[in-house]
Chain A
Amino acid sequence: MDFEVTYTEEQQRFRREVRAWLEANVGPSILRTPTSVEDNYQRYLELRGLGRKLGAKGWLYATAPAKYGGGGLDVDHAIILEEEVDRFDLSLPPYYDSGGRLGSASILVWGTEEQRQAFLPPIYRGEVRTWQLLTEPGAGSDLAGVRMTTAVRDGDHYVIKGQKIFVGSDNGTDRIWMIVNTDPKGKRHENLSWFMIDASLPGITIHPMELMGTGGEGGTDSGVKQTVFFDDVRVPAFCLVGGENKGWTVATTHLELEHGGGGRIGRNRVWDRLLRYCQETKRDGVPLSQQQDVRDSLADIYIKAEVQRLFGVRNFYLTYARKPKSYEGPQLSYYRKTTGLWMTGAILEAVGPAALTTDSAWGSQAGFLETQQRNGIVSVHPGGTTDIQRVQMARRIGIGRSTKEKAGTVHGAE
């Protein structure tokens, strides 16, 4: 076995190129913590600007096919990009783009050639950002139970009405990637359809939800979620992806990626900062990291973070070596979520109430521990609850149902 990504000379050359470019194009201003709503929006615009510049170089969606505006790069190069962007505590894309990431993967697998040409280039070039819309007030874990939001065919158009919740981030969106019910009387799993639509269409209203914290399945997240209302929104029939009432099949690609199937190589940012905090913070004149009870807690936290990293490395390997997967995607998701939740208690125990305050004098740097206290809890639900992940695992292990369930395909997504 070989756990290390070994870098070829070409990769090293590419790393130098990427690093130099990022150092020239990612200024300290873009990395600031926003001080106001207006400042947050300004920063968002800067991140979008960075996204377009990355997109122009093919670095925003590096492994996406070049013929649709992606980078057309292989995984070896994509890894370098991810590692280099990570040095700036950024991800690719450098802003919340859930619908772009997951929608584009689905369109690559299930869209027509015309749809690929129409929808993919703006995503890959960073010209648009896309939110995904899945959850409804009556359909959360039971995604197949979507029925409040419907689309009815009317000539060359569909008319969408209904409501989606827990959507997106702040600062609005250009596109919407959504699942709707197209046959209210149809059979379960045979009554859903996916649409990729313009977010500025008449009849769409976006209203913020206030949440306890942020929590996502990856990507840059702002912690803001929205309710989106659809009031007889007319969308071209061309926007239907994968065929009418074929939405559940399309969803297998989407959900596999969202449930951790893709894998990840990267460091744990919370861990790095937690250790530094414990080394720099003294209590009774002794650094926290030198106190036995704190060390014991840190060891438990570190090991969980390491196991999570290794599960991510394994899934990354399985994905890119194109090896068969079974329960590994939802396992990573389950482990990450339960570890994050458990960690809130473990960190609180190790650090004490300083973990709860954002105060610049008495809290951690930029309140990162306070953020973890919230986000570790919020992250339990996005992309499927911990219980849903366990259900998925059981089905794929082959004990949940009479027939073993297979992992969704994500290979078209490269």
Chain B
Amino acid sequence: MDLALTESQEMLRTTARSFMEREAPVDVVVGLQKAESSLDPNLWAKAARLGWLGIVLPTEYGGSGDSLSDAAVLYEELGRGPLPGPFFSSGVLGALTVLEAGTEEQRRRILPGIATGERVLTVAITEPNTSWGPHGITLTPQSENGSLVLNGTKLFVSDATSATDLIVAVRTGDGPTDVSLLHVDAKARGVSTRRLPGFLSWQCEVAFDNVRVPVSAVLGEAQRGWAAFSRALERALPLLCSYMVGGCQAVYDKSVLYTQTRVQFGVPIGRFQRVQDHVVKLVNHLDSARWTTWEALWKLDTGRPATASVHMAKAVASEAYLEACNAAHEVHAGMGVLVEYGLPAHTQMSRTLFHYLGDPRWHKRRMADALEW
């Protein structure tokens, strides 16, 4: 048993933390919030040079071939920002989906561009019914003259406004998991993307209006899309959790510092047990998310059955990030809702990731199924 980071993980953490301090301090993160696209070209190029965009990809596809646990160290640091950008959508979920679903030719064609940052992927699953399961996928391509034609809408697609390539889950049969994945050029005629306005972070609408793709756009085998996506998701989710752990950590650090320095009634407010209770609640959520996430990562990296652990980690981390932000707002009161202070960026992100790829109730039910109760 060893719950410490390895030496190389410690080094990665140091690099990532100083990158964040230098390139993405609070004012940068706050400044990006209103942009239509989450991708900042300058930050993106630097992250690509550091090898972070292909961190989970095998070296044969241009990646750095790191373990998920290594990548988790990076994602915790990104989450502390919370740094916007399709790091997860493209570099993790997009990359792993192509890796799991694609033919060898498709992998070689698509994946290296993800690692260099030239291609930006996002995976479009959910529709107006907001389901994260295969039964919710109703978008059905029509065959026309050897092409597939798409008409319909995908919703709450992360970072679609910065994507160059879309992986679109479509229904191709009557069975519950008769789902195929289509590789669609985000700039193709008939594709329109727009960031949904409101209290959510770069969740987009993607509309398809007579979008024509060749049959060869199907990733791998038709009808096997959901199984491949599920395998990719199992490996991807813990890194989204790590991002949320980093978010919890940042919110915790801010809260501790604030209780030590904010003086009311002549003393730092941390002396008040009511205030302490918020911090205690926060750190309990932080640690719940941290250790369920790390255990899931460890199981995946060592080839152990991890399905239940992954679902648990997503349920716990989503709840933790949301509750951590709530507690931080109780600590900070007025200061916490000042946009420039940076807490609102976390709060909005916590709400976004709460439901993204399945909310806690959804994952708890999948966990129970996986445990075969």
Chain A complexes with chain B? yes
Contact of A1 with B279 in the complex, beta carbons under 8 Å: no
Residue of B nearest to A401 (CB): B271
A295-B368, A296-B365, A399-B256 known; A1 vs B287 contact (CB < 8 Å): no
B-contact 0/1 string along A381-414, CB 8 Å cutoff: 0000001001101100111110000000000000
Q: Which residues A251-302 have CB closer than 8 A to chain B?
A: 275, 278-279, 289-290, 295-296, 298-300, 302
State whether the Cβ of A53 lies closer than 8 Å to any Cβ in chain B: no
- A1 and B5 within 8 A (CB): yes
> Which residues 120-173 in B have Cβ within 8 Å of A in the complex?
none
Judged by a CB distance under 8 angstroms, whether B276 is at the interface is yes
**In-complex Cβ contact of B260 among A2, A298, A399 (8 A):** A399
Q: Which residues of B contact A331 (CB under 8 A)?
A: 283-284, 287
Within 8 Å of chain B (Cβ to Cβ): is A317? yes
Q: How far is the CA of A310 from the CA of B295 in the complex (A)?
A: 9
With an 8 Å Cβ cutoff, the count of chain A residues facing the other chain is 43
Q: Which B residues are CB-close (under 8 A) to A302?
A: 367-368, 371
Whether B256 lies near A397 (C-beta < 8 A) is yes
Among B292, B361, B371, the residue within 8 A (CB) of A310 is: B292
The closest CB in chain B to the CB of A323 belongs to: B4
Give 1 or 0 for each of B272-316: 1 = CB within 8 Å of chain A CB: 010111011001100110011011011000000000000010011
> Which of these, A4, A298, A306, A391, contacts B276 with CB under 8 Å?
A391
Decide: B276 and A299 in contact? CB cutoff 8 A. Answer: no
List chain B residues, Cβ under 8 A from A300. Answer: 364
Q: Does A45 contact B (CB under 8 A)?
A: no
Contact of A299 with B365 at beta-carbon distance under 8 Å, contacts A1-B4, A311-B287 already known: yes
**B292 and A307 within 8 A (CB):** yes
Q: Does A334 contact B (CB under 8 A)?
A: yes
B280 touches A307 (CB 8 A): no
Closest to A287 in B: B373
B361: which A residues are within 8 A, CB to CB?
296
Cα separation A401 to B283 with both chains bound (whole Å): 18
Q: Contact at B273–A5, with CB atoms within 8 Å?
A: no
The answer to the question of A20 belonging to the interface, with a C-beta cut-off of 8 Å to chain B, is no
Q: Taking A1-B5, A327-B283 as contacts, is the C-beta distance between A303 and B69 under 8 angstroms?
A: no
In the complex, the answer to whether B270 meets A3 with C-beta atoms within 8 Å is: no
Q: CB distance A299 to B368 under 8 Å? A: yes
Interface residues of B in 324-373 (CB under 8 A from A): 361, 364-365, 367-368, 371, 373
Judging by beta carbons under 8 Å apart, are A306 and B270 in contact?
no
Complex: how many Å from CA A1 to CA B364? 25
Residue B1 at the chain A interface, CB threshold 8 Å: yes
Q: Are A295 and B284 in contact (CB under 8 A)?
A: no
For B373, what are the chain A residues with a Cβ–Cβ distance below 8 Å? 275, 278-279, 289-290, 295, 298
Query: Cβ of B259 < 8 Å from any Cβ of A?
Result: yes
CB of B35 closer than 8 Å to a CB of A: no
Contacts of A306 in B (CB 8 A): 292, 312
Q: Which residues on the B side are within 8 Å of A307 (C-beta)?
A: 288, 291-292, 316
CB distance from A147 to the nearest CB of B (A): 24
Q: Which A residues are in CB contact (< 8 Å) with B275?
A: 399
* Residues from chain A with Cβ under 8 Å of B197 in the complex: none
Among B270, B292, B365, B368, point to the contact of A400 (Cβ < 8 A): B270
B176 at the interface (CB under 8 A from A): no
Contact B368 A399 (CB under 8 A): no
Which residue of A is nearest B331, CB measured? A399
Determine whether the beta carbon of B280 is less than 8 Å from that of A3.
Answer: no
Residue of A with least CB distance to B297 = A1
> Does any Cβ of B come within 8 Å of A189's Cβ?
no
* CA distance in complex: A110, B297 (Å): 42
| B7 contacts the other chain (CB 8 A) | no
> A209–B359 Cα gap in the complex (Å)?
48
| B292 lies within 8 A of A394 (CB) | no
A2 contact set on B, CB distance < 8 A: 1-3, 298
**CA of A4 to CA of B297, assembled, Å:** 13
Q: Which of A310, A311, A394 contacts B273 (CB 8 A)?
A: A394
Q: Taking the complex as formed, is B268 at the interface, i.e. its CB lies under 8 A from any CB of chain A?
A: yes
Contacting residues, chain A, for B295 (C-beta < 8 A): 3, 310
User: What are 8 A-to-B residue pairs whose CB atoms are below 8 Å?
Assistant: A295-B365, A296-B365, A299-B368, A316-B1, A317-B2, A331-B283, A397-B280, A400-B276
Residues of B within 8 A of A (CB): 1-5, 69, 256, 259-260, 268, 270-271, 273, 275-277, 279-280, 283-284, 287-288, 291-292, 294-295, 297-298, 312, 315-316, 361, 364-365, 367-368, 371, 373
With A302-B367, A310-B291 known, 12 other A-B pairs at CB within 8 A are: A2-B298, A289-B373, A310-B288, A318-B3, A327-B283, A393-B280, A394-B270, A394-B279, A397-B279, A399-B259, A399-B271, A399-B279
